[in-house]
Structure 1
Amino acid sequence: MAIQWFPGHMHLTRKAIEERIKDIDVVIEMLDARLPGSSANPLLAELTGHKPALKVINKQDLADPTRTPLWLDWYNAKLETHAIALDASDAAPARKLIEGCRKLAPTRTGLAKPMRVLICGIPNVGKSTLINTLSDKRQAKTGDEAGVTKVEQRIVLADDFYLWDTPGMLWPRIVVDQSGDRLAASGAVGRNAYDEESVVLDLLAYLKLHYGAQLSERYKLGLEAAEIGALHDDEVLEKIARKRGAVMPGGKLNLQKASEIVLTDFRSGVLGRISLETPAEYEGWLAEAAIKEEARALKKAEMDKRKKRKAPSRERPRTPE
């Protein structure tokens, strides 16, 4: 089942961005370094597409160090876009944000023409932590739950540099199924919007092929990477459940508890530095989604035609002369 989550406050955020963007010079979009493609909001691109964009690939300390450079190159190849990678809790690289914005809008400087920046991103991507690091004080609320920030906040980073923080926002319909699963695994989606076991099975399907050794080491499975890769996703989860004591009375495995353990380990980084997609993989998923969307649109158009043909005519009967 496709994962969707767009609560009411996100609709309000969309409206706020539409209003604010008129006076903005640069848009900063925070991305999760473990899923830099899936965490990019297509709705945000639609709302702010004409503005210079600074893509901040955040949480790089949790991501695969061999994959993050690929994403930097991918984003830096786009027009009017500059990309940097950082860890929001590190004060030194966080300051690169101001420098990056200046490069994208060099004429915006001084009190007469202050830099006006909008910072956006999916829920739980680290925006508030970054803002607190930049401003050297806790101006924004932080937390490990999706949707902590609920209202727009104005942050003054310098006399001529204003930053508007917006609540985390997803988009009304996630058409790339793989992105939905990855967003849920990262903690960007509310807990009531997905089944944890289903998300973990998808996560394990990817990890067993690309990070099998890390899985084996974390959960003491005693298997080589190739051996783990040959297992079914359910088998991997069952082995983790046994190793972690997720067993109910009667010996039945508690797969829900095992799923929660895997999600917590992935989100906290104790599984190791992991990235759930490469630019090439993500482009492939986008292409697949585009084909499905085209087929969906054609099917809808055909259904609308049938309904129109079946609908009774509303023309008044002619009266005899």
Structure 2
Amino acid sequence: MKNEQITIKDIAKALNISTSTVSRALRNHPDISDETKKAVAELAKQMQYHPNSIASSLRNKRTNTIGIIVPEIIHTFFASVIAGVEEVAYAEGYKVLICQSNETYEKEIINMQTLISSRVDGILVSISNQTQKYEHFEWALQRKIPLVFFDRVCEDLNTSKVIVDDYEGSFQATEHLILSGCRRIAHIAGPQNLEICKKRKEGYLDALKAHDMPINEELIVYSHLDQREGMLLAEKLLTLPQKPDAIFAVTDPVAIGAHIAIRKHGLKMPEQISLMGFTNDAVSDIIEPSISTMAQPSFEMGKVATRQLIYQIKNKTAKPERIVLKTELIERNSTKKIRLKALSHS
């Protein structure tokens, strides 16, 4: 055959039947005989026929495609989320278009324009650390395109959200450090325009208060969630006249940066200083000493968010839901063992 797009007209001409018969045979229509269906299917395979998805989407007003916007694919957390998204999407007959904002508001706007122009049926979003305005998300809602936020969410819009209990996870992480004997616990926080960062800081502060420990503002520094800043901010903390005896980092990439700074200063973990992260990045487990962390169910988050999005695509009147997943403390070699049984809190 010529190097051209094969159509049902080509199949119909080769079999000397009508295009409508070919079309119905390919859709397994009951009015078409098994013999004809078999002949059409075999020739379609031989001729390498592929349905025109654009034409089909115009007829059905659906593309069977969903879009996802993540800050950075390079992070294992978001790569794992995407794997969960694809598992559910493909099982339900949807293709996935993946975009990354590279942690910039401007690129996130371009991502939304691209997905809307591609006529996706729904969009999953985890916002960038720069995002403080949300008009570009409203474009999708105005066009009746379902939106589901995950991890880093937009609280100002009435949409479904899939998150972890960032406050509880942060409280538990900080309490673990307290009960292991740490008394000057620093926190490398994240941008406070992100709800996850605010909640993790709140959990840290409330754990200190619950154990009658003072809040020292010089021990709280703010990052943009990357490894390099984690290293530089840990350097700053380690040059204080009174060094911290523990660092709780807002994410594992930030904790990995802090780990580099601690090693550079010749301090032993956990004997001289403890380190706690939040995410359960794959590197945290293989670095030496391995980093204790609060694990997020990233793969499950991707699956849950996709199920929710597909439900909303199929049920246009569905009300938004807020789904909260649990974190899990992973104790590794960067923190001391707990001396006392953790106290309950309300």
Structure whose CA Rg is larger: 2
TM-score (norm 1): 0.30
Q: Which has the higher helix share?
A: 1
Q: Which has the higher strand share?
A: 2
TM-score (norm 2): 0.29
